[in-house]
Amino acid sequence: MNTHVTPLPIATLALLLAGCDTSHPPQDAPPVIAHGAAPVEYPVVDDNIRHDTLLIQTTFDMGDGTFVMVASNKEETFEGLRLYHYRARPDSSAEILHVSAPAYDSWTMLPTFFGSRASAGEEHEFVDGWILANFGERESWGQKVMWFRDGFHDRGFMDVALPERTEDENGSQLKCANIAPHTRLANSGDTAIFTFACDSVFLYDDLAGRNDIIVPAHSIRYTYHPQAGLELWCNGQRRAVKQPG
């Protein structure tokens, strides 16, 4: 079966986001920016360890002698997938350094990494940075936001996906894909700003009473500030996001 996938053009958008008021900013609204930096592409490598209890899905080489793998227990559990930051030992065992919270019933926990990386040939240490982890089954449910520093720290959830139209023998269908590769990161002081370099986004919850809507990508951004946490901005207006834990 041949399936053709194209991003949903902005001309097909039927709904635009309405504004609402919330107010607990630690600072004024961060500046509107075109886009920040693209994700850092760490290479995907073959499994380099043997583990009696873990079923490895994907492994990333962090370039400093450590790796991040997506893995679950070989015996199915309610917790499901986790991210494991580890160092491979010479005997093919793993020195587990850090473990993320679980994905529970999600079939995917695919991470996308944001932050600086040394130039080619230079030593790079995976010390800190933002991680978006795509959750879902056959389609994306959105992105878990994590800050990595001495472990994986949950910072909230982005209820967004990339809307795509697929064409097959059954006609045209809307699919929700992983938006993390199209996400861009900038910083304004101590506020991280996430924008989306695509035409439109699928928003599962606009935090103003509407669900499952398609909106222009330029109308949506997320920010994270240590005091306010993760916040959704719709057409420049702040909407609070429920904080983890």
pLDDT class of 115 with cuts at 50, 70, 90: confident
Q: Where are the domains of the chain?
A: 4-240
Question: Does the pLDDT value for residue 176 go beyond 50?
Answer: yes
Does residue 26 or residue 220 have the better pLDDT? Answer: 220
Q: 214, 220 in Cβ contact below 8 A?
A: no
Region 86-106: mean pLDDT is 93
pLDDT classification of 168: cutoffs 50, 70, 90? confident
Confidence class of residue 14 from pLDDT cuts 50, 70 and 90? very low
3-class secondary structure for the chain?
A: CCCEEEECCHHHCCCCCCCCCCCCCCCCCCCCCCCCECCECCCEECCCCCCCCEEEEEEEECCCCCEEEEEEECCCCCCCCEEEEEEECCCCCEEEEEECCCCCCCCEEEEEEECCCCCCCCCCCCCEEEEEEEEECCCEEEEEEEEEECCEEEEEEECEEEEEEEEECCEEEEEEECCHHHEEEEEECCEEEEEECCCEEEEEECCCCCEEEEEEHHHEEEEEECCCEEEEEECCEEEECCCCC
Q: How confident is residue 128, by pLDDT bands cut at 50, 70 and 90? A: confident
> pLDDT tens digit string along 190-235?
899 999 999 999 999 999 999 999 999 999 999 999 999 999 999 9
Specify the pTM.
0.82
Question: How sure is the predictor about 245, in pLDDT bands with cuts at 50, 70 and 90?
Answer: low
